[in-house]
């Protein structure tokens, strides 16, 4: 009995320390401390619900759902278990499952105004989803919206003083003026925005799903991770490392948009560089270059606000043209998420993926965009609820099977902007410092110089930006949880 009481009081100490870590935004540490509390007392639903909340903050929605479900199993009357699980379902776009959880919260806490507000938003989201499903045109009958746009016919008003494209060629002078206008929170004329996005679409459509990049001896190549709409940090990367050009080429490895509230500025800048110098700017698809994510995490709302409805559909079409992976000098494999649920995947299998669609919920394309490394060998369930976790042995076998040296991926915020795992054979790079204005992390990019291709990692801190909060354009219900 005394031992039991001692464990319970130690567990409470761990919980208090975990709460402090959580309040200081040290979410990984908070998870470790809640785990220690659970190991001493696994009959306390609060520990699971709190750990679920920390997982939510780290976007580990699969783990959050598991913990919230465990909290409900331990104490079916604990409303926060349903509340946390509903929040995780919402974040994954699983509105119907979220609705069930918030209905349960409302039943248990009928006078909770916060729960009522979230239930109402959830009901609205489900109604909207049903309506969209009802009016949706079948895929095979859909004509690309890009085919119906003639940007040449759009007049530019005489009073427009922003950046202009003269004819069909995007020049460096235009891109610099546009970037400067964006820096001063001015808009680009829709005519030129259409021109950039349509020209980029044509270029991306012509590329394979796995793009080969050749870096000649003595030349260098820079790989950046997630930027997530943090435009002013993107400008800082170019300040630190030079503008993209044939002599100074970049790969941006997915998740250009969402969360940060300057996603339109980021995507138009990256696309403009692609138009100006195709071999100076490579772009890979991330899990956030998808309709489902853009609906929830702000890009769709931002595009509507800064451009118009036509652009929402157009960006969706262009995102479906983005390549899924890149290969430097046949030695370094670069992908947004990670590796696969089966062994024996060859580069030829990746080249053969028909990528011109919204990402599926399973299979090679899904795993390339969503998977994460894990410290343990083998494979495990994804902490995100999509894709999987893979160990060092999986990385090693993939590299051996394809005669490669290194995997570079992004997809996860890291305190130092990068992390080296799997016996040095896998590097995560993340280029959005102080992610969402609250994580306190550094950003990083990697420079490779041929022929050695040794990774030279450069880290940097966040720079100030205008007072527009992250998620400013996100779905209303998601802002309720931010």
Both tokens of residue 405? Answer: 């040296």
Which residues, in sequence order, are CB contacts of 105 under 8 Å at separation 6+?
79, 82, 83, 86, 112, 115, 118, 119
Nearest to 337 by CA among 224, 253, 212: 253
Two tokens at 158? 């005489």
As a whole number of angstroms, the distance between CA 266 and CA 229 comes to 6
Beta bridge pairs of residue 408: 334, 427
Residue 355 contacts residue 320 (beta carbons within 8 Å)? yes
> What is the maximum alpha-carbon separation in the chain?
83
Rounded CA gap, 304 and 307, in Å? 5
In 5-108, beta strands by DSSP E: none
Q: How far is residue 369's CA from residue 391's CA, in Å, rounded to a whole number?
A: 17
Q: Where are the alpha helices (DSSP H) in 308-373?
A: 309-319, 347-351, 364-370
Residue owning tokens 């343990």: 376
In angstroms, the Cα distances linking 401 to 343, 344, 408 are 9, 7, 17
Is residue 228 within 8 A of residue 437, CB to CB? The reply is no
Closest to 422 in 3D by CA, of 403, 409, 432, 411: 409
Alpha-carbon 451 to chain mean position: 31
Active site residue 220: no
Burial readout 357-390 (b: 16 or more C-beta within 10 A, e: otherwise): eebeeeebbbbbbbbbbbeeeebeebbbbbbbbb
Cα end-to-end span (Å), the chain: 42
In 206-262, which residue ranges form alpha helices assigned H by DSSP? 231-241
Distances 68 to 52, 96, 114, 325, 480 between C-alpha atoms, Å:
6, 17, 19, 35, 19
For residues 264 and 465, what is the distance between their CA atoms, to the nearest angstrom? 15
Output b/e per residue, 433-446; b: 16+ Cβ within 10 A: bbbbeebebbbbbb
> How far apart, in whole angstroms, are the C-alpha atoms of residue 449 and residue 336?
21
- Paired with 53 in beta bridges are none
Asked if residue 149 lies in contact with residue 194, where contact means CB atoms within 8 angstroms, the answer is yes
Considering the candidates 288, 326, 411, 422, report the single residue annotated as catalytic.
Answer: 288
Question: Are 291 and 365 in contact, with CB atoms under 8 Å apart?
Answer: no
**Per-residue CA distances from 442 to 97, 172, 192 (Å):** 35, 29, 34
Q: Catalytic site residues?
A: 288
């Amino acid at each position: 009995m005394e031992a039991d009481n001692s464990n319970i009081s130690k567990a409470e100490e761990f919980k208090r320390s975990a709460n402090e870590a959580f309040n200081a935004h040290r979410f990984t540490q908070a998870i470790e401390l809640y785990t220690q509390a659970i190991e001493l007392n696994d009959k306390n639903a609060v520990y699971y619900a709190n750990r679920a909340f920390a997982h939510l903050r780290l976007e580990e929605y699969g783990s959050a759902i598991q913990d919230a479900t465990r909290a409900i199993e331990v104490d079916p009357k604990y409303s926060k278990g349903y509340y946390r699980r509903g929040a995780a379902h919402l974040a994954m776009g699983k509105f119907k499952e979220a609705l069930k959880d918030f209905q349960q919260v409302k039943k248990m806490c009928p006078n909770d105004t916060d729960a009522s507000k979230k239930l109402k938003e959830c009901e609205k989201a489900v109604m909207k989803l049903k309506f969209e499903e009802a009016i949706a045109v079948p895929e095979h009958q859909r004509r690309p919206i890009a085919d119906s746009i003639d940007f040449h016919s759009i007049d530019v008003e005489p009073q427009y003083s922003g950046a202009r494209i003269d004819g069909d060629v995007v020049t460096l002078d235009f891109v610099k003026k546009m970037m400067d206008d964006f820096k001063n929170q001015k808009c680009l004329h829709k005519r030129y925005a259409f021109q950039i996005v349509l020209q980029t679409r044509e270029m991306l459509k012509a590329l394979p799903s796995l793009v080969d990049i050749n870096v000649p001896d003595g030349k260098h190549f820079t790989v950046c991770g997630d930027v997530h709409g943090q435009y002013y940090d993107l400008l800082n990367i170019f300040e630190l490392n030079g503008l993209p050009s044939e002599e100074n080429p970049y790969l941006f490895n997915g998740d250009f948009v969402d969360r940060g509230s300057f996603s339109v500025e980021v995507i138009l800048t990256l696309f403009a560089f692609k138009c100006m110098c195709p071999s100076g700017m490579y772009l890979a698809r991330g899990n956030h270059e998808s309709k489902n994510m853009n609906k929830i995490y702000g890009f769709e709302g931002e595009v509507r606000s800064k451009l118009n409805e036509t652009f929402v559909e157009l960006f969706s079409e262009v995102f479906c043209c983005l390549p899924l992976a890149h290969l430097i000098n046949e030695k370094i494999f670069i992908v947004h998420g990670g590796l696969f649920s089966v062994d024996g995947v060859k580069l030829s299998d990746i080249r053969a993926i028909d990528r011109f669609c919204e990402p599926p919920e399973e299979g090679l394309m899904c795993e390339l965009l969503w998977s994460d490394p894990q410290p343990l060998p083998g494979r495990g369930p994804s902490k995100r609820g999509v894709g999987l976790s893979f160990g060092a042995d999986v990385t090693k076998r993939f590299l051996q099977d394809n005669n490669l040296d290194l995997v570079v991926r992004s997809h996860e915020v890291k305190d130092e902007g990068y992390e080296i795992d799997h016996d040095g054979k896998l590097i995560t790079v993340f280029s959005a410092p102080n992610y969402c204005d609250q994580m306190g992390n550094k950003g990083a990019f990697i420079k490779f110089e041929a022929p050695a291709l040794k990774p030279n990692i450069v880290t940097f801190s966040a720079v100030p930006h205008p007072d527009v909060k992250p998620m400013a354009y996100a779905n209303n219900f998601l802002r309720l949880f931010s």
